[in-house]
Amino acid sequence: MPFGHDMVHSLATVVELVNTSPSTRGDEGLSSLADLQAFVESREISGVHTLTTRDLGQVRIVREAFHRVFTATDQPTAVRTLNNLLAGTRITPRLTEHDGHALHVHYFANDATLAEHVAADCGVALAHLLVEGEAERLRTCSAPDCDRVFVDESRNRSRVYCDSRTCGNRMHVAAYRARRRA
């Protein structure tokens, strides 16, 4: 994929966020402030102030909006859904080279909440993906009992499972057993 490192990082962040949702993994992956803090640390989200339960609620709302972009049945629906999200987000492009990272653009405002931060940076990353005509790379896992989302970064857009080591491997084993029984 012809996407820069920042964009790949933001797309991985939105995937990880959406996959904390009860509608993708079956239970609430962001049930406490500790969960939210762990997400911030695992995704190295910068400039985050002390988190409150208000942040937790706001991030869950943004998360569900992002999930709707992933599950949109066609590009116009994805565009409309993303535009709704972007319309409610303050976006302030700013060049930065914090923490030893190469010069890159932040889209969240200086005083952004965590939800605004994620909505701005991940929202812009998804916008670029749609502009590149790559909406079909936004996928939901094909395993029958898994609703996790992922971004298919494979060259020939052939990836169907959220994780080849878990769902992919599980499904291959199931197919192998089915063949042996036949």
Which residue, 148 or 159, is less far from Zn ion as judged by CB? 148
Residue 167 engages Zn ion in binding (rule: CB under 5 A): yes
Distance from C-alpha of 44 to C-alpha of 32, rounded to nearest angstrom: 18
Residue 18 engages Zn ion in binding (rule: CB under 5 A): no
**Contact code string over 127-146 relative to Zn ion, x by CB under 5 A:** --------------x-x--x
The rounded radius of gyration (Å) of the Cα atoms in the chain is: 17
Which residue, 35 or 163, is less far from Zn ion as judged by CB? 163
- Name the minimum Å distance from CB 86 to Zn ion: 19
- Candidates 32-40, 112-120, 128-136, 164-172: pick the segment binding Zn ion (CB under 5 A): 164-172
Distance from C-alpha of 62 to C-alpha of 164, rounded to nearest angstrom: 27
- Name the minimum Å distance from CB 171 to Zn ion: 9
Sequence-distant (6+) residues with CB within 8 A of 29 are 19, 20, 21, 22, 35
**Contact code string over 61-100 relative to Zn ion, x by CB under 5 A:** ----------------------------------------
Backbone angles phi, psi at 89, to 5 degrees: -120, 130
Residue 162 engages Zn ion in binding (rule: CB under 5 A): yes
- Contacts of range 113-117, beta carbons closer than 8 Å, 24 or more positions apart: 113/55, 113/58, 114/36, 114/40, 114/45, 114/48, 114/51, 114/55, 114/58, 114/59, 115/55, 115/58, 115/59, 115/61, 115/62, 116/89, 116/90, 117/45, 117/47, 117/48
- Name the minimum Å distance from CB 14 to Zn ion: 15
- Candidates 31-39, 67-75, 159-167, 172-180: pick the segment binding Zn ion (CB under 5 A): 159-167
Which residue, 98 or 181, is less far from Zn ion as judged by CB? 98
Q: By CB under 5 A, name the binding residues for Zn ion.
A: 141, 143, 146, 148, 162, 167
